[in-house]
């Protein structure tokens, strides 16, 4: 009997979240698009907010204004996304700077070969030092070219979880390679 009540309660919560999704999704996607600049990323930010609500349905009772809560979640997702893009841009610029420096040196020069090997070794060491799950997700995104959504589906996690792993990986790699410290990245 208690099991049926529990299932009925869960179904009611899911119906309520579905109703909120249908009611607010369009407006929240529009708001997110103004921040992140494209529809696909904006939809990801909104979907992540609703996934958080599904993962923590008790918040339905704890929050005074669900609209304000969802708007805040989407806004925070967008800001985190933009921060992660900035970290990625910084990382890629660092890697490009390193490869540009080594390309400017003569390949016949032993110093050039040493710098190139050292840069590659530092990056390899940094990637190898990542926790296994974080490393796998980073490699899938950075070297296999998979989207965050594809990785999330393959790994059975949320896009937000993939974002978190990527950001942590980039910060750790940048910290280890000595190009920035964690104080430079929030």
User: In this predicted model, what pLDDT tens digit does every residue of 79-92 receive, in sequence order?
Assistant: 888 877 776 666 66
Residue 119 confidence class, pLDDT cut points 50, 70, 90: low
Question: CA-CA distance, 183 to 56, in Å (whole number)?
Answer: 32
Question: CA-CA distance, 106 to 33, in Å (whole number)?
Answer: 46
Q: Tell me, what's the pLDDT at 51?
A: 87
Question: CA-CA distance, 20 to 160, in Å (whole number)?
Answer: 20
Tokens 């996304």 found at: 81
DSSP string for 7-27: HHHHHHHHHHHHHHHHHHHHH
Q: Where in the chain is the domain with CATH 1.10.1740?
A: 2-76
Q: Where in the chain is the domain with CATH 1.10.10.10?
A: 79-184
Q: How many helices (H) and strands (E) does the chain have?
A: 8, 0
Nearest Cα neighbor of 67 from 107, 113, 115, 19 is 19
Question: CA-CA distance, 101 to 176, in Å (whole number)?
Answer: 19
Instruction: Please provide the CATH number assigned to the domain covering 2-76.
Output: 1.10.1740
Q: How many CB atoms lie within 10 A of CB 80?
A: 16
- Kindly state the tokens that stand for 163: 């974002």
Average pLDDT over every residue of 51-80: 86
Q: Tell me, what's the pLDDT at 112?
A: 46
The pTM of the full predicted model, rounded to 2 decimals, is 0.52
**What kind of architecture, by CATH, is found in domain 79-184?**
Orthogonal Bundle (1.10)
């Amino acid at each position: 009997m208690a099991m049926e009540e529990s299932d009925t309660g869960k179904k009611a919560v899911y119906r309520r979240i579905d109703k909120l999704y249908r009611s607010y999704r369009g407006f929240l996607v529009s708001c997110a698009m103004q921040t992140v600049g494209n529809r696909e990323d904006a939809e990801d930010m909104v979907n992540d907010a609703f996934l958080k609500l599904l993962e923590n349905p008790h918040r339905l009772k704890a929050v005074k204004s669900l609209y304000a809560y969802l708007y805040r979640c989407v806004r925070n997702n967008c800001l985190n996304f933009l921060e992660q893009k900035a970290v990625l841009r910084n990382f890629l610029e660092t890697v490009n700077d390193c490869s540009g420096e080594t390309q400017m040196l003569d390949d016949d020069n032993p110093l050039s070969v040493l710098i190139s090997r050292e840069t590659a070794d530092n990056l390899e060491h940094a990637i190898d030092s990542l926790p296994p799950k974080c490393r796998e997700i980073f490699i899938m995104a950075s070297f296999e070219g998979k989207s965050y959504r594809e990785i999330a589906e393959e790994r059975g996690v949320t896009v937000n979880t993939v974002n978190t792993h990527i950001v942590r990986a980039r910060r750790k790699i940048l910290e280890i390679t000595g190009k920035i410290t964690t104080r430079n990245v929030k």
